[in-house]
Amino acid sequence: QKEVEQNSGPLSVPEGAIASLNCTYSDRVSQSFFWYRQYSGKSPELIMSIYSNGDKEDGRFTAQLNKASQYVSLLIRDSQPSDSATYLCAVTGANSKLTFGKGITLSVRP
Amino acid sequence: DAGITQSPRYKITETGRQVTLMCHQTWSHSYMFWYRQDLGHGLRLIYYSAAADITDKGEVPDGYVVSRSKTENFPLTLESATRSQTSVYFCASSERTGLLAQHFGDGTRLSIL
């Protein structure tokens, strides 16, 4: 069973702080990595994708991938109350199927 | 508006009844997926389809049936609903599986009494 594990939550940070969300995966041949944001009662929304080792920045979001250590992380700089949501890590394995972590709930305190 | 549409948004039914959840996408994406989302389990893949008339099982296919006669539609049928199938169901599509992200519909909240 290929697994995607996210660090236990919930995570609470003050407004303006950096939120760090981590994810590890078990399938060494995984190729594609995604972060989705899901507001309560809504559907998952793609916020970042990353395919190669290193950092990828998009506005206040930075995704970091380390294939040797099999982890992918998401940093949210200058966190805002509107960032309060559940964040899902998703990884594509050798079978091309997307496996989701269970998610971590982020709360940004005003 | 182009995108992926699920219907109904909410459904209440009784055990033993047949229920069909609809999914329609206007992107002409080849791949379509059905997930269920439950507390403690996250998103789990039920079935997926690589193209019209091509479907395959996911992680939790038992009790579900799918079909894909047209590229844009991918209905999910619960042939005899059970309480354990109470969940939120999401349909998603992707231009290519694996390398490209999936885009989700708004979901169907299904309650089976």
Q: Does any CB of chain B come closer than 8 Å to the CB of residue A8?
A: no
Structure confidence by residue, pLDDT tens digits, A45-97: 999 999 999 999 999 999 999 999 999 999 999 999 999 999 999 998 777 78
Closest CB to B42 among A42, A96, A103: A103
Structure token digits, residue B46: 């039920």
CB A109 within 8 A of CB A13: yes
Pairwise CB contact (< 8 Å): B42 & A45: no
User: A101 to chain B: nearest residue by CA?
Assistant: B42
Give dist(CA B3, CA B43) in Å, integer: 21
Which DSSP category does A82 fall into?
G
Structure confidence by residue, pLDDT tens digits, B41-96: 889 999 999 899 999 999 999 999 999 999 999 999 999 999 999 999 999 999 87
Paired strand residues for B93: B32, B103
Q: How many CB atoms lie within 10 A of CB B14?
A: 11
Q: Does any CB of chain A come closer than 8 Å to the CB of residue B43?
A: yes
CB A3 within 8 A of CB A30: no
Pairwise CB contact (< 8 Å): B90 & A43: yes
Please report the pLDDT score of residue A39 as a whole number: 97
